[in-house]
Structure 1
Amino acid sequence: MSTQPNPTLQQSFEELSATVPAIIGLAVAAPGRTDASALGRWSTGVAWSTIKVPLVIAALRRDRSRAKDLAVNAITESDNVAAEVLWSQLGDPADAARQVQTVLREAGDADTVVESRRLRPGFTAFGQTRWPLDRQAWFAAHLPGLAGAVGVTDLMHQLCSDHRWGLAAKGVAAKGGWGPGNAGDYLVRQFGFFPTESGYAGVALAAQTAKFQTGVDVLNRMTDWLVNHFRELTGQ
């Protein structure tokens, strides 16, 4: 689902990569294109809290009255307790995973498999879903058009102050996710969408580094690079 952008952009991103203390990756799904453009060495890994967006949509579809207040906390504060309750409202773990996966499929992500098993003690099952950047960017580009997504995308504009970094710091509707790896590393990722004249451009970015704050700092720099090269990346 991904292609390589032009060599000049690749070179520019490689130069950025060489100046940050992280393994980074970026994907952009532009309107009118059939594949996302991908840059960088990092391309796939666990979703962490970014998966809360399709989870909240699935829960609101299932029972809006029960889910709506929890949805606010799950998105704007990335509240894990609220997200776990929403997950439980979808039925048993296998059924819940299928419903969240349906949301991904409707947005054109034909391959990502939502994790139903609690693979790591102390962490959510759904947060361990492996979500490649190119598929996440594709999802982001199609998210505004999904049934029942309007309220969720509004919440993505209302993240709490602690989470307004990267795309969110630029006023973009976004959702981040972060957590420790198994080898002393730390992953910080985020996705969002930009309105353009011909539709929405979806973007997803990630930094694998030593600690959370370093990852945030790197995503801020990546977002600056993205904004500076947005027209070249999207043709918009």
Structure 2
Amino acid sequence: MRRWCARTAGAIAVLLVTSACGSEPALEPDAPITTRSAAGSPTAGAVATVPGTLAWDFNELRGSLNGRVGLAVMAVGGEYPVLLGDWTSGSAWSTMKVPLTLAALRNNAGYSGTATSAITSSDNSAAETLWQSLGTGEVAAQSVEDVLREGGDATTEVPATRTRADYSAFGQADWSLADQIRFASNLPCLPQSDSVTSLMGKVNYGQRWGLGTLDGAEFKGGWGPDLSGNYLVRQFGLLPVEHGEIAIALAAAPTSGSFDDGTVILNKLAALIDKHLEELRGGDCPAPR
């Protein structure tokens, strides 16, 4: 398990502001895009740490983004996320391959090659193999949910069966930005998480948009169409900063519905984060008792 030092500094209230988003092509779709308020989140309305200039510049940028967008930042080992934008929740798509892969490798370390394909190439067949290795659909869903709960996500439910025949069951889970960022902030602290985060640092070149454009990022993307064919594009991951690491989650639902427009939006959000990287303070995993 990795450890980093320090907590966070410079606080301002959590900001919930409106913005835009993007979309993407095939390779791994899963379920329809849905949205819901983050008000039910245990972190909603809490105080979080974020430079005021990041929120300001986000507001400036959102006017140029054609769609809905969400951005969340949280220190590793921290307590409160910063949530920006008007996109709050939707299909997990292949971002759910991260807790799935961790569950599968804990169950059977012999699937390391399959895990590599599932994370670095977002290979759907490999991910399905990992899912089936956990047992029946009900057992597999519970195993992935157990990892989510361990990572601080107390609400996300993973379907045991496919709700859309062409897409995986786990990818169709509705995963809110607030729940995903909390899980991401705790991911490095979970037992055996290095087996997955190390792979997140080796994502194939063709999928290195958004967070993949930032030095040192360990991340996983997910994308797919809703019932109308409009794509949701999202990512979450970890970035090294002063005094440790931060977790970041991005989502874009472009007005055009295209995958390419979604990746363009995530690239713009990543550039915004890069601009303010020196202002962000990271965190570490709590010391074991």
Give the TM-score normalised by structure 2: 0.76
From 104, 107, 110, the counterpart of 1:59:
104
Q: C-alpha distance in 2, partners of 1:39/1:82?
A: 33
Partner deviation per Cα, 1:24-81 (whole Å, 9 max, x = no partner): 000111246422110000011010000001100000011111x111101000100000
- Contact kept, 8 Å, 1:2 with 1:37, in 2: the verdict is no
Q: C-alpha distance in 2, partners of 1:33/1:60?
A: 26
Q: C-alpha distance in 2, partners of 1:143/1:194?
A: 12
Q: C-alpha distance in 2, partners of 1:163/1:62?
A: 28
- The aligned runs of 1:141-220 (5 Å cut-off) are 141-171=185-215, 172-209=217-254, 210-220=257-267
From 123, 137, 146, the counterpart of 1:102:
146
What SS class does the counterpart of residue 45 from structure 1 fall into?
A: strand
**Matching residue's letter, 2:208:** R
What SS class does the counterpart of residue 100 from structure 2 fall into?
A: helix
Assess, with a 3 A threshold, how the Cα gap between structure 1 residues 144 and 77 changes in structure 2: closer, same or farther.
Answer: same
Q: C-alpha distance in 1, partners of 2:205/2:240?
A: 23
Q: C-alpha distance in 2, partners of 1:151/1:33?
A: 22
Q: C-alpha distance in 2, partners of 1:113/1:198?
A: 33
Structure 2: runs of 5+ lacking an equivalent: 1-42, 283-289
Q: C-alpha distance in 2, partners of 1:58/1:77?
A: 18
Q: C-alpha distance in 2, partners of 1:105/1:80?
A: 24
**Matching residue's letter, 2:75:** A
2:72 equivalent in structure 1: 27
- Contact kept, 8 Å, 1:31 with 1:198, in 2: the verdict is no
Greater relative contact order structure (CA < 8 Å, 6+ sep): 2
Q: C-alpha distance in 2, partners of 1:73/1:45?
A: 24
- Contact kept, 8 Å, 1:77 with 1:159, in 2: the verdict is yes
What SS class does the counterpart of residue 148 from structure 1 fall into?
A: coil
Q: Does 2:271 align with 1:224?
A: yes
Partner deviation per Cα, 1:136-172 (whole Å, 9 max, x = no partner): 1121121112111112111111111111111112130
Higher helix share goes to which structure?
Answer: 1
Q: C-alpha distance in 2, partners of 1:196/1:6?
A: 14
- The aligned runs of 1:13-92 (5 Å cut-off) are 13-31=58-76, 33-65=78-110, 67-92=111-136
Shift of 1:194: 1.6
**Matching residue's letter, 1:202:** A
Q: C-alpha distance in 1, partners of 2:162/2:173?
A: 10
Query: Identity rate of aligned residues, in percent?
Result: 44
2:16 equivalent in structure 1: none
Give the TM-score normalised by structure 1: 0.92
Q: C-alpha distance in 2, partners of 1:223/1:200?
A: 16
- Contact kept, 8 Å, 2:241 with 2:281, in 1: the verdict is no
> RMSD in angstroms over aligned alpha carbons?
1.8
